[in-house]
Amino acid sequence: MKRANVLRMAVLGWTTLVWVLLWGTFSIANILGGLLVSIIIMVVLPLPRVPVEGRVHLWSAMRLGGVIFVETIRSTINVAWLAIRPAPPPVTGVLRCRLTIKSDLVLTLWTDIMNNIPGTMVLEIDQVRRIMYVHVLDVSTDKAVADFYRSARLIERLLIRTFERDSEWQASPWRSGTEELT
């Protein structure tokens, strides 16, 4: 079965599950109704084609999940301390981070991860040059800035190991390679 068909079936299953969970009743009629609504949505409102250009490596994905969990807890504790400490507010700033991620999908995942870690928010994405501008809550010390870059680079490396290994990388046939990303 082609990868695109597997993806369509996964979306169909997911939207059907969401339908059933929204109604709160597991019944044959509710599942069939969810399938019908899902099919209608997929036909009337199709998702844009997203180029998938690598493979998922489960062990790396589990490690990535663990690192995201640890970084989120660590950042939550830091933000909480900054909020209750008896000192002036922290110095905030916007830091530039150049990435080596190839895929737009993985770039989006990096952005989502960074936005969900407390104390950071991606403000601007230079998609062509792969430069991200990230607002960081605490840049008052060299150590705080180094911690941000360490975390950002670790997440980038794990995303590349999970989705973009050079040995398995193939550019999507949906891209001509000459178009400019905007």
- Residues 2-31: b if buried by 16+ CB within 10 A, e if exposed: eeeeeeeeeebeebbeebbeeeeeeeeebb
Q: How far apart are CA 11 and CA 139, in angstroms?
A: 41
Q: Taking the alpha carbons of 38, 56, 74, 140 in that order, is the dihedral positive or negative?
A: negative
30 lies in the same domain as 67: no
Domain identity same for 33 and 78: no
The answer to whether residues 161 and 84 belong to one domain is yes
On whether both 66 and 144 belong to a single domain, the answer is yes
Give the domain extent around 13: 3-44
174 located within any domain? no
pLDDT-derived band at 109 (thresholds 50, 70, 90) equals very high
Q: Give a yes or no: residue 177 inside a domain.
A: no
Could you report the per-residue pLDDT of 1-58, keeping only the tens digit for each? 576 788 789 889 999 999 999 998 889 999 999 999 999 998 998 877 766 666 778 9
Q: In terms of domains, do 68 and 116 share one?
A: yes
Residues 78 and 155 in one domain: yes
Same domain, 118 and 32: no
Question: Could you tell me what percent of the chain has a pLDDT over 90?
Answer: 66
Whether residue 34 is found in the same domain as residue 103: no
* Sequence-ordered list of residues with C-beta below 8 angstroms from that of 97, at least 6 positions apart, any chain: 131, 132, 133, 134, 149, 152
